[in-house]
Amino acid sequence: MANSSTSKHIVKIMETEYINYDVKRFVVEKPSGFTFIPGQSVNISINLPGWKTKRRPFSFTNLPDEDTLEFIIKIYRNHEGVTHKLESINAGKELILHDVFGVLQYQEKGIFIAAGTGITPFISIIRNLYNTKRLSNHKLIYSNKTFQDIILDQELTEKMGDNYIKKFTRENTIGFIEQRIDRNYLIAHILRFDQNFYICGPQSFVTDISKYLFELGASANSIIIEE
Ligand SMILES: Cc1cc2nc3c(=O)[nH]c(=O)nc-3n(C[C@H](O)[C@H](O)[C@H](O)COP(=O)(O)OP(=O)(O)OC[C@H]3O[C@@H](n4cnc5c(N)ncnc54)[C@H](O)[C@@H]3O)c2cc1C
């Protein structure tokens, strides 16, 4: 049964754990008949007074055929938003799942380029490709501030091997000059620009990388982003 865009599901949290210093994993009940496509997201709110209408988008990170749903969420502790509240929300509490949406879906072989929590839609896609033995020859370029910020480094290394390229924009070293992914970096790591590119991260990251890829010869319909 397809999800209606107006449907609303109250689901119990079954399990939580921190997977790095500010990223928390939630495993929640999956409502009967609930479906999604790897790469899609859902608006979520917390089922507590004062929080029910505060919806925020999060990507599904596990696979549609599993019995539960998984979300991997970066907690912003510096202000009283939804993710800060999620810090104290654990097994037994409830979330509200609102509309499922997202056009960032897998089409054909290509390169994933992610920054920070922008990896989350690709986690479901990569797990799906891996389980169906279609992951070889896909490359992932994953940018983070430091090594401590990477999400699921071990799993990505195991699944993608040498095709997983890490880029750090900051280091905990005095004098380290911020290093972003730029045109030259893409030329050094991408051999062909006539393939698909999946890009996810902060809006400025998506805009910059898309622009560089166009300049380097990628066609508009080969660049797949969340609109
Ligand atoms: C389609 C989509 C899918 C997403 N999937 C995921 C996912 O799977 N996992 C994930 O972790 N994130 C994901 N995000 C991002 C996530 O939605 C946001 O991090 C979340 O909405 C933040 O909610 P919040 O209420 O805590 O912060 P908000 O109050 O909504 O603030 C959002 C941003 O503004 C900044 N900000 C706002 N107010 C302040 C303040 N007073 N002081 C300092 N900073 C401030 C925060 O740093 C934060 O980056 C996704 C986003 C989109 C669009």
pLDDT at 175: 58
CATH number of 9-101: 2.40.30.10
Mean per-residue pLDDT of the chain: 93
Closest Cα to atom 5 of ligand 1: 58
* Residue 210: burial class (beta carbons within 10 Å; 0-12, 13-18, 19+): middle
Angle, helix 120-131 to helix 153-160, in steps of 10 degrees: 40
**Which two structure tokens, joined as six digits, stand for 222?**
């080969």
pLDDT per position as a tens digit, 67-102: 999 999 999 999 999 999 999 999 999 999 999 999
Nearest C-alpha neighbor of 132 from the set 63, 225, 35 = 63
Kindly give the distance from the C-alpha atom of residue 45 to the centroid of ligand 1, in angstroms, as a whole number: 13
CA 182 / ligand 1 centre spacing (Å): 25
Task: Give, for ligand 1, the residue of 117, 127, 226 to mutate: max count of ligand atoms closer than 8 Å to Cβ.
Answer: 117
Find out whether 145 and 74 touch, Cβ atoms under 8 Å: no
Q: Give the sheet arrangement for strand 9-20, strand by strand.
A: 56-59, 41-46, 94-101, 9-20, 23-29, 68-74
Q: Which pLDDT belongs to residue 67?
A: 97
CA of 175 to the centre of ligand 1 (A): 29
Structure tokens at 177: 């000059």
Q: What is the pLDDT of residues 165-196, one digit of tens each?
A: 999 888 665 555 567 889 999 999 999 999 99
Pocket test residue of 16, 83, 144 for ligand 1, highest count of atoms within 8 A of CB: 83
Structural fold of domain 110-224: Rossmann fold (3.40.50)
| 29 Cα: distance to centroid of ligand 1 (angstroms) | 23
Domain ranges across the chain: 9-101, 110-224
Model confidence over 35-73: pLDDT tens digits? 999 999 999 999 999 999 999 999 999 999 999 999 999
